[in-house]
Structure 1
Amino acid sequence: MTRGAGPILVLFALIPLVTSLASGGAGASVVMAPAVMHAQIGGSGSSFAANALDQWAADTNRQGLQVVYTSSGSAQGRLDFARRTTDFAVTDTPYQGTDPVTGQEDDSEGRPYRYIPLVAGGVAFPYHLEVGGRLIRNLRLSGATLSGIFTGRIRYWDAPAIRADNNNRLALPHLAVRPVVHIEGSGVTYQFTSYLAHEYPEEWNEFSGAPTATAYFPVSDDQIAEPGSNAVINYVESNEGDGAIGVDEYTYALLANAPVAKIQNAAGYYAAPSAGDVTVALTQTQFNTDETSPDYLVADYSRVYEFTDPRTYPLSGYTYAVIPAGQHDTKTSTAAQLQTVADFMFYGLCQGQAEAAPIGYAPLPLALVQQGLAQLQVLHDADPTVDLGDDDIGHCANPTFAGDPPHDAFDQYPQPAACDAVGHGPCGTPADRTALTVADPHAIGYRHRTRIAVRLLDASASTALGGQVVVVRVRPARATAYHPLSTLRTDRAGRASLTIRAATNTRYQFDYRGDDEHAAHTAVVSVHVKQAVTIRTSARRLRHGHRLTVRGVIKPLHRRGVVWVQRKTRHGWRTLATARYSHRYRFRFTPRWRGRATLRVWSAATAANIGTSSAKVRVTVS
């Protein structure tokens, strides 16, 4: 690769794809035709991805592949690939041209390659904080506080910024904060410092002396440096680790059952590095599409940091597989080796992603999988006997998408709890025993009165919370914001009620603001209003051949809809005319029948309404 024009960035949107894709069955495995030959291959690199690579190697070994992976660190993995001692590398950090710390060359030494998204996960912050012999497990930190901790500006756990992040509800000790970082060149360090350099550039520049990300954390006197992911989590979990907070891959914290801090996202929620929150976040990944650039296919996470879906973990990222792309590769030179690389990568992108969440990773979203599958073509280009026949999206058993054509299936990932919002919680404190329930009337008639019942309880003790204030806000259809409506006070049984008479579909928000012992809670109900239809005619009796006018009003109007005027016959309702309406409707026509007939005006349900509405009248034509 040579340097060329500037990068073009492509955004993966959180929308279903409409491109035509090959179809196939879910639950596919590595598809290997009997005639296809395989050979043992080896790879090295990222410790972040090691648990996933080891699992996939064991899985595919049972299907006839022989893959040996060495967790040597991203920098060593890139070097091994460049020196042609491995068939693939796995790295959290792309080739940088020159290592910013050692000054050594950091490139592929002329070996052609492509990047493939492979293992996704979150940069986690495991911590060890005890109060009265009890381990705190529900710590929350904003990005600004996180930056302050790792740049030395916040030195004690009871600092005002940390207390504020936790809504002043955690009993935090006056104990020194001890950040634990990687001493070696680490991909997780690179991802974390990329976040700091982008979101808090002044603080990071002042601390590190450089405005850019680095794989080598600039360790200060009050920080602890450990060699590798296992060493970081082991120190945090040790007896002398009280007061420590590390930066490490989530998989290591999960397997050690260590608590990790929830980090505030741009939507105003504190999120954990869970599979769903990482997968949703990574839909905002951008990547370089300039094939002449040395950064071709390199990810840019700036939109991930700022994504406003509440399910976003802002420090999400993925590791790359580096695969050979040359037609005359001197290491991975045989068709059997290339085929094994192709089949192993396909397994990792597809079926292997189903195993990501249980071991602390996150399955890749659809757009990243499509990008990865597209790069496998270089293996076929190197040797046309490499079979990619079933290595397509239709045969890809990845749990993040479904359908034909495939689309992202994010409904499986829940929205955060109310106690994860800024100003609420933290979740898991005694205050979160509060239960606010609101009866949902669902659908009512136009301007009909109905009562919405409210109850407030201490759920842990099943006792009523009487004398508490619940603020009610309302948002009618087509409104963009809630506005105050009423204030309720619960009785001794924790009950209150609101009487409404809605004229349009309306949302009601009930807010309990909490007190020193009980957390704030919010409940929302949507009230749908059935349409009311009136009908009038210009005459109830008229002569044959004379014109008849039918008119009336339909309320509420949620959107411009369709209305029919119909006559009842022995075969059912026969449509006489159809028109658009806007509150009022009007038909003029000449009846073709004689005698008495029942007419009705009928409005079909829309997405905003419940059921259908109609009005009837009898007309005699003589």
Structure 2
Amino acid sequence: MTSTKRTRRPIVTLLGAVVGLTLILTGSLSASAASYTRISGQGSSWAGNAVAEWVSQVRTQGVTVDYTAAGSSSGRANFANQTNADFAVSEIPYTGDTADPQDSNKPSFGYGMLPVVAGGTSFMYNLQVGGQRFTDLKLSPGSVAGIFSGAITRWNAPEIVADNPDVALPDQRITVVVRSDGSGATAQFKLWMLRQFPAQYAALAAATGMDAAHASSYFPTGSLSNFVAQNQSQGVTQYTSDTPGTINYDEYSYAQQVGFPVAQLKNAAGFYTVPDQYAVAVALTQAQINQEAGPNYLSQDLSNVYQYGDPRSYPLSAYSYMLVPTELRGGFTADKGATLAYFNQYALCEGQRTMGALGYSPLPMNLILAAMEQVAKIPGIDEATLATITATRDGVLHGGANPCNSPTFQPGDDVSHNVLIDTAPFPAGCDAACQAPWRLAGSGVGVGGPTFETDATAVAGGGSGAPAATDNAAAAGGPANAGTTAAKSCDADTGVCASDDATLAGANVKAIPTVIGGQQGWAGPQTLMTLVGLLLVTLLLAPPLVGRILSRSSRPSRSSSGAKQ
């Protein structure tokens, strides 16, 4: 009996040690996450699926973030008014040349604006041809402008037939589904129409009573009898999926979510593409992100994106932004700032890995760095988050490894490498001669890319600093300054304009080329899983092995047994 107790005692001790070590390891890795204060945000439903994914991911780490995808206009207003919104998400800024002129609410406190995800505005439709759901609809930009201005009202209109030869399109009314609430998706789509198809936009303004000179976040239907307005992205998606003959506009992820097709949009090269992660990444090499102090700081100008000649490009690609406080105010405390900074850092790194499969496009490396500069200004940011940002910046710019697990980061790469563009598939019909000009490594990427300085003092939106950047306008293609609508000659089909003499008042836009890299990373969760796995194996195998050893050591030998006899 005494021998059995002595055998069990070390086994129990070993079990206790293994369990204790497991709890210590798991507790140490999750303790900081569990201590984060709950925060809430509101805004864009265009980016809503992306934000919901990040919220779900950080919840597994004990971090609680509430997000309401009520639309960009609502989110911007509530953030400015400090109403249940520690942060907001929007595709358009408060100030500058692409701001909504109907916005009367602007923050009275310091705030920063940082890109968090890229994507494409798509045109989900519900159409039957020959009694079957039609999934191969092609539309030129001119046809899209005609449909959404009310000029094209039948599915078998000559313009749509020209895009879809040999398809027996039905003689059926087109029901156009638009947003009833203020949205960044509406603002970006209307800005595209205003700049590329000014005549159609003027006709839309005349029919709906809206401002013909600006693009707002609202889409009034006015006298357009075939237009239907629905609330938020989920509303327009649900109505379209339930109603034959309909078409809408929204981020690609919503159509993917319900399994409905989107129109293939004709680009400036004459090819039809959809906004997958590759087509968006290619297009946004031409996005110009303002890096100068002033009302346009970090806002996007997409004029060159619309007309980009790469056969793989999707013309209606854009970024979505998070608006964050850069000073304590009202109910926004330092504890909330620590949570918000961590959430942003996670979204910019690990959170980008699932964006492609979700219907978005992961951010390029240089924009992640620019965004991290803004995250570092959030009051209350903790040492761990700041250390990750610093290590990422130093690693990327100086060639070392970095702890950011974003798919756009690869240790040792520099900002001129672009994996998504290198591997982006070409559309059918683009032969070797068509592909050749675009197959250069890092096509459309400036040599060396932008630089980021920590001592820059540019100011935007009430006190947010900015990193400095080199002038890469020529690298991105097109002029450094992009204009609002003016008298110019535009192709009625593609919207490509022969000249653009107008310039943005007071804007000095500098292009930041998109830079995509690939990485297979190893982060904290993988390490934790490995350690726990090893401990479980030890827990299962060690007790019987130890017991067997102890049993043998306590068993008398045969010779000694014989002597006792």
TM-score normalized by the length of structure 1: 0.58
Letter of the aligned partner of 1:48 in structure 2?
A: W
Measure, in 2, the Cα distance between the counterparts of 1:178 and 1:33.
51
* 8 A Cα contact 1:324 1:379, kept in partner: yes
* 8 A Cα contact 1:402 1:409, kept in partner: no
- Structure 1 residue 387, shift from structure 2 partner: 4.4
**1:59 paired residue number:** 57
Letter of the aligned partner of 2:304 in structure 1?
A: R
- 2:89 is paired with a residue of what secondary structure? strand
Change (3 A) 1:333 1:160: same
**2:172 paired residue number:** 175
Letter of the aligned partner of 1:308 in structure 2?
A: G
Give the structure with the larger strand fraction. Answer: 1
Q: How does 1:99-110 map to 2 (within 5 A)?
A: 105-108=104-107, 110=108
Q: Over residues 24-70 of structure 1, what are the superposed CA-to-partner deviations in whole Å (9 max), with x where a residue is unaligned?
A: xxxxxxx9896785211111111122222122112112223221112
Structure 1 residues 363-372 or 97-106, which shifts more?
A: 97-106
Q: Over residues 552-593 of structure 1, what are the superposed CA-to-partner deviations in whole Å (9 max), with x where a residue is unaligned?
A: xxxxxxxxxxxxxxxxxxxxxxxxxxxxxxxxxxxxxxxxxx
* 8 A Cα contact 2:279 2:424, kept in partner: no
* 8 A Cα contact 2:282 2:421, kept in partner: no
Change (3 A) 1:330 1:100: closer
Measure, in 2, the Cα distance between the counterparts of 1:223 and 1:270.
26
| 1:362 equivalent in alignment to 2:361 | yes
**2:251 paired residue number:** 249
Q: Over residues 329-352 of structure 1, what are the superposed CA-to-partner deviations in whole Å (9 max), with x where a residue is unaligned?
A: 333222x32221111101111111
Measure, in 2, the Cα distance between the counterparts of 1:309 and 1:97.
29
- 1:337 is paired with a residue of what secondary structure? helix
379, 397, 402: which one pairs with 2:405?
397
**1:274 paired residue number:** 276
* 8 A Cα contact 1:44 1:69, kept in partner: yes
**1:321 paired residue number:** 322
Measure, in 1, the Cα distance between the counterparts of 2:323 and 2:290.
16
**2:234 paired residue number:** 230
Give the structure with the larger helix fraction. Answer: 2
- 1:184 is paired with a residue of what secondary structure? coil
Change (3 A) 1:268 1:101: closer
* 8 A Cα contact 1:39 1:340, kept in partner: yes
Measure, in 2, the Cα distance between the counterparts of 1:323 and 1:273.
28
Q: How does 1:288-437 map to 2 (within 5 A)?
A: 288-291=290-293, 293-326=294-327, 328-334=328-334, 336-379=335-378, 387-391=385-389, 392-393=392-393, 394-406=402-414, 407-411=417-421, 413-419=423-429
Measure, in 1, the Cα distance between the counterparts of 2:86 and 2:342.
13
Name which structure has the greater RCO, CA cutoff 8 Å, separation 6+: 2
**1:208 paired residue number:** 205
Change (3 A) 1:365 1:384: closer
What percentage of residue pairs aligned between the two structures are identical?
36
**1:134 paired residue number:** 132
Structure 1 residues 399-408 or 90-99, which shifts more?
A: 90-99
- 2:387 is paired with a residue of what secondary structure? coil
* 8 A Cα contact 1:269 1:416, kept in partner: no
Q: Over residues 82-121 of structure 1, what are the superposed CA-to-partner deviations in whole Å (9 max), with x where a residue is unaligned?
A: 122322111122225999999561311x121111101221
Q: Over residues 458-517 of structure 1, what are the superposed CA-to-partner deviations in whole Å (9 max), with x where a residue is unaligned?
A: xxxxxxxxxxxxxx99x9xxxxxxxxxxxxxxxxxxxxxxxxxxxxxxxxxxxxxxxxxx
- Structure 1 residue 197, shift from structure 2 partner: 0.8
- Structure 1 residue 165, shift from structure 2 partner: 1.4
- Structure 1 residue 202, shift from structure 2 partner: 2.1
Measure, in 1, the Cα distance between the counterparts of 2:156 and 2:97.
41
Number of aligned residue pairs: 387
Measure, in 1, the Cα distance between the counterparts of 2:259 and 2:95.
34
Greater CA radius of gyration, 1 or 2?
1
Q: Over residues 4-41 of structure 1, what are the superposed CA-to-partner deviations in whole Å (9 max), with x where a residue is unaligned?
A: xxxxxxxxxxxxxxxxxxxxxxxxxxx98967852111
- 2:378 is paired with a residue of what secondary structure? helix
Change (3 A) 1:399 1:96: same
- Structure 1 residue 384, shift from structure 2 partner: 7.8
Measure, in 2, the Cα distance between the counterparts of 1:32 and 1:312.
42
**2:193 paired residue number:** 196
Q: Over residues 210-230 of structure 1, what are the superposed CA-to-partner deviations in whole Å (9 max), with x where a residue is unaligned?
A: 132121113122211111212
Measure, in 2, the Cα distance between the counterparts of 1:314 and 1:374.
29
Letter of the aligned partner of 2:315 in structure 1?
A: P
* 8 A Cα contact 1:125 1:245, kept in partner: yes
* 8 A Cα contact 2:176 2:227, kept in partner: yes
Letter of the aligned partner of 2:297 in structure 1?
A: Y
Q: How does 1:590-601 map to 2 (within 5 A)?
A: none
Letter of the aligned partner of 2:405 in structure 1?
A: A
Measure, in 1, the Cα distance between the counterparts of 2:40 and 2:324.
11
Give the superposed CA RMSD: 2.9
Measure, in 2, the Cα distance between the counterparts of 1:350 and 1:72.
25
* 8 A Cα contact 1:339 1:386, kept in partner: no
* 8 A Cα contact 2:125 2:263, kept in partner: yes
243, 260, 263: which one pairs with 1:261?
263
> Which structure 2 segments of 5+ residues have no match?
1-27, 207-211, 394-401, 437-565
**2:123 paired residue number:** 125
- Structure 1 residue 378, shift from structure 2 partner: 0.8
